[in-house]
Amino acid sequence: MTAPPPGGLVLDGVVVRRGTAEIAASFAVPAGRVLALVGPNGRGKSTLVDAIAGLLPLAAGRIELDGTVLARVTPSSATFLPPQERGVGLVPQRHVLFAHLSALENAAFGPRSTGAGRAVARATGQRWLERFGVGDLAHRRADRLSGGQSQRVALARALAAEPRALLLDEPFAAVDADGRSELGALVREAVAGAGIPCVLVSHDADEVDRLADAVHRLS
């Protein structure tokens, strides 16, 4: 039997409450792989992603990344690492960019937030913008970008920060069909290259087939 790759994201007996809803899940995403989180509207896909990012607390269970506990609740104790200490990159569905900053300033924000100097952060940001096909829009204000262009900048910003895990909540919803497959391939390449686990929320069965190594269904 081959050993599983080192690292990865583990959700073990996780329960998250939001409003009156209670969402439960257990799954593991190995380093360098993509797990698709699928299921009908309102079943808790975004809620789970938010809990991994540290935007919501757990009611029970454990979330671990590369052997580090991000959150754990037992009957006698609770651990909660704040979002900025998790090293997790999140690309939500919308309202993702700082509207008054340029595409490049947005992309450079990732590395800046993890301690890079200004010049290095801008060079890294520019490289990722180019990789996602929006290098020529570097100096355009975020609120003057189209929905699809904004999502490309948001992906660049998340990856420029060199996250230890990537969470994508319907990241291609505003992108046209050709752009979707192009961006999907770029994301796969980035995830495999960086050797990080990726959770992708998607309602698009073709996209899930193309991108995901495994599927977790919430029903």
Ligand X SMILES: Nc1ncnc2c1ncn2[C@@H]1O[C@H](COP(=O)(O)OP(=O)(O)OP(=O)(O)O)[C@@H](O)[C@H]1O
Residue ranges in contact with ligand X by CB under 6 A: 18-19, 21, 39, 41-47
Number of neighbouring beta carbons within 10 Å of residue 190: 19
Cβ distance 68 to 145 under 8 Å? Answer: no
Of 56 and 121, CB closest to ligand X: 56
CB of 104 to ligand X, least distance (A): 30
Estimate to the nearest angstrom the gap between the alpha carbon of 8 and the chain centroid.
14
Decide: 14 and 62 in contact? Cβ < 8 Å: yes
Looking at the chain, the number of H-run helices and the number of E-run strands are: 6, 10
> Are the C-beta atoms of 16 and 47 separated by less than 8 Å?
yes
* Alpha-carbon gap, residue 67 to 218, rounded angstroms: 25
User: Smaller CB distance to ligand X: residue 28 or 218?
Assistant: 218
Tokens of 135: 């290098």
> CA–CA separation, 180 vs 52, rounded Å?
25
Yes or no: say if 37 and 200 are a contact pair by the CB < 8 Å rule: yes
How far apart are CB 87 and ligand X at their closest, in Å?
A: 23
Nearest to ligand X by Cβ — which residue?
19
How many residues are given for the chain?
A: 219
2 versus 41: smaller Cβ distance to ligand X: 41
By beta-carbon proximity to ligand X, the closer residue of 180 and 216 is: 216
Of 38 and 104, nearer to ligand X (C-beta) is: 38
CB of 201 to ligand X, least distance (A): 6
Closest CA to 166 of 59, 70, 91: 91
Give min distance, CB of 21 to ligand X, in A: 4
CB of 23 to ligand X, least distance (A): 6
- By C-alpha distance, which of 116, 108, 104, 93 is closest to 160? 108
CB-wise, 58 or 108, nearer to ligand X? 58
Closer CB to ligand X, residue 137 or residue 154?
154
Report the nearest approach of ligand X to the CB of residue 126 (Å): 32
